Structure 1
Amino acid sequence: MSFQTLGLGPAVMRALRDQGYHAPTPVQQAAIPAVLAGGDLLALAPTGSGKTAAYALPLLQQLLQSNPQRDPRALLLLPTRELAVQVGDALRELSRHLPQRLRVAVVFGGVSINPQLMGLRGGCDIVVATPGRLLDIVDHNGLRLDAVRHLVLDEADRLLALGFAEELQRVLGLLPAQRQNLLFSATFPKSVEALAAAQLREPQRITVAAEAPRLEAIRQRSIVVDTDKRTPLLRHLLETEGWQRALVFVATKYATEHVSDKLWAKGIKAAALHGELSQGGRAKVLVALKSGEVAVLVATDLAARGLDIPELPAVINYDLPRSPADYTHRIGRTGRAGATGDAVSFVPPASEAHFRLIEKRQGRRVEREQIAGYEATEEAPASDPNGGVKGKRKSKKDKLREAAAAAAVKD
């Protein structure tokens, strides 16, 4: 199937060609005609499936066909600053090739509100925003939302999971009742189900399955190492494996800074990326990575969500992820676009049971290695049958039931 069969007009098709788009992804094939039809849409699609273009292309066409106004006609709500910037950049690139200039404003927290207010003085056609900052802009009389005709809730599950439910309801209350609602979500928990039921009118529903990482293109390694030897081992691997870039996953904000500082002190160009960095700080890190000024990014799962690092040869699990799903998500950052990649996990003896469960869930055994000079000397604790994997620990109710049953037996 080609984009020409989806109902896009000549102007948007020219923009597609200029941007190098070729064939539509499955979510684009399903969503573009649905959005152009004007009805509401509920799309379950994973990150990386091409959903930004799936709603951006038909929205641009609809805006070209309607009368310009000072106030925005399309509102896109996203959960994080990085995603807002990413979507805003994509819209600007596509609209740059259109015959009619469409103004795109991107607003998010973590930076001064004044430049954003100044940028809105001339009006805009599309506003891309995080909910909290959007409400701040409205409270400062910097924006009116009563002309919005198209609402996109992108990554709705994360919008709700990150605590934006109250802000989201306030935003929805400022919008006109007659509008097109497009809800995109990677998962469909009860909170998203309730939001969809309350806001969408007879939506068309599409589901695109997550594309599994090409595990055959990823060389998985697990190295047994003592906890306090992980940083020296990481440095050793970075110096000997020849990776031009590497993404290192750790568990906490403190660890991102601690590990990156240790690497930098030894001459390895590393930077930390975590959720408490300012927007300016995050942008600086990503620019440094793309330019080659930084070779190693040390990040938490939260900060690394939504990042697309091209030509990434290696992912290192300095700290093991909490769940097998997170493991698959992490290692899937390498081995993309026909390339191969390395995924290395540090497995201290205390984490052996946890990693065995990760192996079991992915149905693949990863042979343990020991690196000369970094051999493990710690002893593993008593085996935990649950391995600490998220969602598999006994609940408090289970423990109380077991205690009651044991007491009954004694009686």
Structure 2
Amino acid sequence: MTEKRLLTDTRIDSLGLHENLLRGVAELGFTNCTPIQADTLPRALRGEDVAGQAQTGTGKSAAFLLATMNRLLTAAPDPSERAPEGASQPRALILAPTRELAIQIHKDAEGLGKYSGLRMLVCYGGAGYESQRQALEEGVDLLIGTPGRLIDYWKQKVYTLKAIEVAVLDEADRMFDLGFIDDIRFLFKRMPPPGNRLNMLFSATLSHRVMELAYEHMNDPQLIKTDSDSVDVKAIRQKVYHVSNDDKMPLFLGLLRRIDPRRTLVFVNTKREAERIEDTLNANGLQAATLSGDVPQKKRMSLLEDFKSGELPILVATDVAARGLHIPDVTHVFNYDLPQDAEDYVHRIGRTARAGAEGDAISLACETYVYSLPDIESYVGHKIEAEMPTADEYADDWIRPKPRPRRPRGGRPGGGRGRGDGGRGNRRSRGRGRGQRSGN
């Protein structure tokens, strides 16, 4: 919420928001709308459903949060539906694909709604199972969370969806990627009909499958595509180095030593490779840590805070960090592995050069993943500048760390709820790949 963004001439205080929301907005120092806010907020405040195309970091969270909270503050609860005895009855539900995004939305909601008096709660897998359950039982107006944990509590009759007045789906395209779409439909079908609630959907791309979902569960949604919200890949300095698999690590270390990696994201395609890179960087005097889908929630949040504050200069990540995370001032993005999906390339490099800042994206096209390069260049619409590494760009004196001991087959140490979605993973795979859902 603190990142400087491109602003429009539309003032937030001109939109007719509830005075208690304006107090929170003013305290945060916001005066004018970003493009996605200027295009979606007036419509949502009029009660129109909105399907917006927006990237992380463009202000979309504030748009749907202000519209949601304004609806709750200006409309009386519908007394026609009574919750079963002992069940909570939230009035608004916001769904996010990852724990980190759900937590960020909740943090933004607390700031914007500081003076609203609304009870807010975030529920996500991987931590706080009983504490989240108890807080939900005590009652909540605005419920934010990931699908797995929310369905778990719903099946236990901890809360009901019968009184939902506002439903928000954030990062809809990512919901498809992670295999959550059946869960989304499960939750929406337990709410009042689309015409009886305000519905908002946001996605990095309004693809056919996303729009099909919108028309299925929304009431004549207004389609909003704001050009300035998309990642401008041409504004990012992009380079690709062609390198053999054997020379890849020494080149990577050499390139890192030539820059100031004060806030550098390194993307890889597998968790095992991420851990190998982390160990190698630390062994060679470059402080780094790994963020992947199965890192415990408490550690994940600690790593992200350290990275945002500058205490951790290098974060090695699988694609769980490519979307849904708001990390300002990333100076460099390295694709140690070229992604196998061209769209993921854009999401990865879009972590740098945010809001008019400068940034560099450096990719290593090795023998294993170079075959992705033509599709990536076709997707971004131009050739990426290719460079042949010079001899002095390689690190000749680098240290190889000892390999980590492999975990025994048969599951994670300690057993039990290892997947991070409230213990439901061992009871409902529904035929999907378990690895697809590590972000929940």
Structure 1 and Structure 2 fold alike (TM over 0.5): yes
Q: Specify the SS of the correspondent of 2:211.
A: helix
**Structure 1 Cα separation of the partners of residues 365 and 349 of structure 2:** 15
Q: Residue deviations 1:171-191, cap 9 Å, x none? A: 123222332222222323343
Choose from 183, 188, 206 the match for 1:167.
183
**Structure 2 Cα separation of the partners of residues 142 and 180 of structure 1:** 23
**Structure 2 Cα separation of the partners of residues 216 and 182 of structure 1:** 30
Q: Specify the SS of the correspondent of 1:259.
A: helix
Partner of 2:298: 280
Query: 1:212: Cα distance to partner?
Result: 4.9
Partner of 2:313: 295
Choose from 54, 57, 70 the match for 1:61.
70
Q: Letter of the aligned partner of 1:322 in structure 2?
A: Q
Choose from 104, 108, 113 the match for 1:90.
108
Partner of 1:35: 44
Q: Which moved more, 1:241-250 or 1:189-198?
A: 189-198
**Structure 2 Cα separation of the partners of residues 57 and 209 of structure 1:** 22
- CA 1:206–1:147 in structure 2 vs 1: closer, same or farther (change >3 Å)? same
Q: Specify the SS of the correspondent of 1:321.
A: coil
Q: Specify the SS of the correspondent of 2:214.
A: helix
Partner of 1:402: none
Partner of 2:336: 318
Q: Residue deviations 1:119-140, cap 9 Å, x none? A: 2232111000111111111223
Choose from 259, 272, 278 the match for 1:254.
272
Partner of 1:226: 244
Partner of 1:366: 385
Q: Specify the SS of the correspondent of 2:121.
A: strand
**Does the 8 Å contact 1:248/1:296 carry over to 2?**
yes
Is 1:237–2:255 an aligned residue pair?
yes
Q: Which moved more, 1:80-89 or 1:166-175?
A: 166-175
**Structure 1 Cα separation of the partners of residues 220 and 232 of structure 2:** 37
**Does the 8 Å contact 2:322/2:348 carry over to 1?**
no
Choose from 192, 197, 211 the match for 1:179.
197
Number of residue pairs matched by the alignment = 374
**Structure 1 Cα separation of the partners of residues 27 and 375 of structure 2:** 47
Q: Letter of the aligned partner of 2:381 in structure 1?
A: Q
Query: 1:268: Cα distance to partner?
Result: 1.4
- CA 1:217–1:72 in structure 2 vs 1: closer, same or farther (change >3 Å)? same
**Does the 8 Å contact 1:245/1:313 carry over to 2?**
yes
- CA 1:356–1:138 in structure 2 vs 1: closer, same or farther (change >3 Å)? closer
**Does the 8 Å contact 2:54/2:230 carry over to 1?**
no
Partner of 2:169: 153
Query: 1:196: Cα distance to partner?
Result: 2.2
Pairing 1:304-383 to 2, within 5 Å after superposition: 304-348=322-366, 354-355=372-373, 358-359=376-377, 361-372=380-391
**Structure 1 Cα separation of the partners of residues 372 and 51 of structure 2:** 36
**Structure 2 Cα separation of the partners of residues 194 and 335 of structure 1:** 32
Q: Which moved more, 1:80-89 or 1:340-349?
A: 340-349
| Gapped regions of structure 2 (runs ≥ 5) | 1-9, 80-87, 395-440
- CA 1:353–1:43 in structure 2 vs 1: closer, same or farther (change >3 Å)? closer
Q: Residue deviations 1:308-358, cap 9 Å, x none? A: 222221111111122443333322322234432222222336655643554
Partner of 1:201: 219
Q: Specify the SS of the correspondent of 2:285.
A: coil
Q: Letter of the aligned partner of 1:264 in structure 2?
A: N
Report percent identity of matched pairs. 39
Query: 1:369: Cα distance to partner?
Result: 2.8
What TM-score, normalized to structure 2? Answer: 0.78
Q: Specify the SS of the correspondent of 1:120.
A: helix
Q: Residue deviations 1:36-76, cap 9 Å, x none? A: 11233332333333211111112212222244796311111
Structure with higher Rg: it is 1
**Structure 2 Cα separation of the partners of residues 6 and 353 of structure 1:** 50
**Structure 2 Cα separation of the partners of residues 144 and 162 of structure 1:** 25
Q: Letter of the aligned partner of 2:242 in structure 1?
A: V
Query: 1:240: Cα distance to partner?
Result: 2.8
Q: Which moved more, 1:60-69 or 1:284-293?
A: 60-69
- CA 1:269–1:191 in structure 2 vs 1: closer, same or farther (change >3 Å)? same
Q: Letter of the aligned partner of 1:184 in structure 2?
A: F
- CA 1:335–1:200 in structure 2 vs 1: closer, same or farther (change >3 Å)? closer
Partner of 1:379: none
- CA 1:274–1:236 in structure 2 vs 1: closer, same or farther (change >3 Å)? same
Choose from 150, 154, 175 the match for 1:138.
154
**Does the 8 Å contact 2:240/2:384 carry over to 1?**
no
Q: Larger relative contact order (C-alpha < 8 A, sep ≥ 6)?
A: 2
Q: Which moved more, 1:11-20 or 1:42-51?
A: 42-51
Q: Which moved more, 1:313-322 or 1:299-308?
A: 299-308
Q: Which moved more, 1:43-52 or 1:84-93?
A: 43-52
Q: Letter of the aligned partner of 2:158 in structure 1?
A: G
Partner of 2:57: 48
Q: Letter of the aligned partner of 1:48 in structure 2?
A: G
Partner of 1:189: 207
Q: Letter of the aligned partner of 2:32 in structure 1?
A: A
- CA 1:292–1:29 in structure 2 vs 1: closer, same or farther (change >3 Å)? closer
Partner of 1:400: none
Is 1:22–2:38 an aligned residue pair?
no
**Does the 8 Å contact 1:324/1:362 carry over to 2?**
no
